[in-house]
Structure 1
Amino acid sequence: MTAPPEDAPGEGPPVAVRTTDLHKTYSGPRGDVPAVQGIDLEVAEGEFFGLLGPNGAGKSTTIGMLTTLVVPTSGAAQVCGLDVVRRSVEVKRRIGMVSQNNTLDNDLNAFENLEFRGRYFGMSGKDARRRADELLEMFTLQDRRKGTPFELSGGQAKRLMICRALVHRPEVLFLDEPTAGLDPQNRVNLWEVLRGLQQEGQTIVLTTHYMEEAEELCDRLAVVDHGRILASGTVEGLKDSAGADTVISVSYDGTPPEDVGKLRERSGIERVEVAGEQVRVFAREPDGVLGELVAIGAAAGVGVTDASQLRPSLETVFLTLTGREYRD
């Protein structure tokens, strides 16, 4: 794997994470499967950066390479100015990682999970215990200090996993689908915790398939699918650059009338897609389009079974970029 020169101090804005033409291909009995296909990223120090995409888009594989768990097939990745392959041990010392699955030690209570992690990173017993107490208080888990992972709720376990990742004060915190499986209340509570961390200067890289989560938390984000970045930037910048349209969708109870194709000639309509019994219209000027689709169906004797209108958002950015429904 080729790698560019490692970052020299003082050159340009501080960069916490950088990838260059990063690839990962898995080989199996059915042949090669490309998981990541040439991703270029830069994450600044103190930034909250998100990788947004459906399951199977390549987000977790990308995080795996950045955290040294997955070896890239080609390209290069640097974290804290260190090559993730050639200097993997040093990278591990400077990052924290929270995976999708619960990886807490079930034989230890909450306090011990943190204390032992501190000792693993070379802290003295006194410093490790002090840091464990500090984090339990910060994440409102003091009353669960003696609880085992089996005795914690899903939200408490996720907070404890973040505590454990922060024990050694990492420069970059990686979160892979951190709120997957949490109920809405715990999800919102965790958002507040993560906002607080960033306000204190923590660099955070998040993967998520929740568009609301990405929009709520991230300074910048990249929309990823099929191992490629489709677009990246701020939420508002993505809406502008991707030309996010209002998406009007109508499902008929039969074959869509041919007249729906005439909408392509209407001013403010970017494109019209017909798939089965569904028609999707991408419009810069959406007023009246939904009513016209209903009227076209009625004139042809075809009823409407479902209809929706999505105003410009991350969801419509995704639809505009890919021309298909977002996958859970």
Structure 2
Amino acid sequence: MVKAAVMGAGSFGTAYAKVLRDAGTEVTMWARRSDVAESIAERRVNPDYLPGVRLPEGLHATHDHAEALGGADVVVLAVPSQSLRGNLGAWSGDLPPSATLLSLAKGVEVGTLMRMSQVIAEVTGAEADRIAVLSGPNLAKEIAVEQPTATVIACPDSVRAVAVQRACATGYFRPYTNTDVIGCEVGGACKNVIALCSGMAAGIGLGENTSAAIITRGLAEMTRLGVALGARPKTLAGLAGVGDLVATCVSPLSRNRSFGERLGRGETLEQAQQATHGQVAEGVKSCSSILELARSYGVEMPLTEAVHSVCHEQMPVAQVLVQLLGRRIKPE
């Protein structure tokens, strides 16, 4: 039996651990907080992140990272993108030397401008063919209640990708494989920023025409960045690109969309954070690094720039959207 260590007990880490266990994989979760590990292990619930969801029998949990990692064939990295480097540094001595390292984190690291697979490679010394990423329209709450979804597992080594695919395929969770790690990571990072923009527009009362325009133009700018970095356009037209983008931009379950709505209604960054139990949406942190990365490649990303202006330059949402509409007209 394949053994997986899921490092992180947030909403998506917990939902994916459930998927793995439902697929017949042996799973041990690591939780940063001992009380969360105890709740999962003893009561089979994670009340802070997936309230009301019963977790399957045989799903183990621990606060001891070495215990979780011991003997793992797949190490699932389910911590936020900006804390991945620090966590990996603490875990690296206990990582099984031949395990597949599967990233669920979606972002571009502030400062280094590295994608998550690059951070993993730098910290652990793992070769690229050991590193995989998972991306797609995967809202944790829907997965946890077993609503059908699909995802992409990208890895340069197709044998490893297929092994992970088999370890998490269930009747409600359908994984596809891909070798385009760059495309999957760019889609996963950029969609959070575009979802913030979509939420902001909804928050000031704009409707579905605006939402459709933001999603479509957001796809265009994420594709421009992806291609500049070496991604295949086809990847960004699939589940890891447009699929993830649509789900994150339109669903009230999306933290980035909901956070953007609060900003659109006039809340400050601090007020929106307090309303979401102290959690900052991933796109708030990543928009700056994505914008800096895009500029370094000469890629124009006006929606990302707009989100950065609101989140980090205190520009009013309405003013930023007016500026977007006032950009020079040109062919699509």
TM superposition score normalised by structure 2: 0.31
Larger radius of gyration: 1
Whose RCO is larger (CA < 8 A, sep 6+)? 1
TM superposition score normalised by structure 1: 0.31
Q: Which has the higher strand share?
A: 1
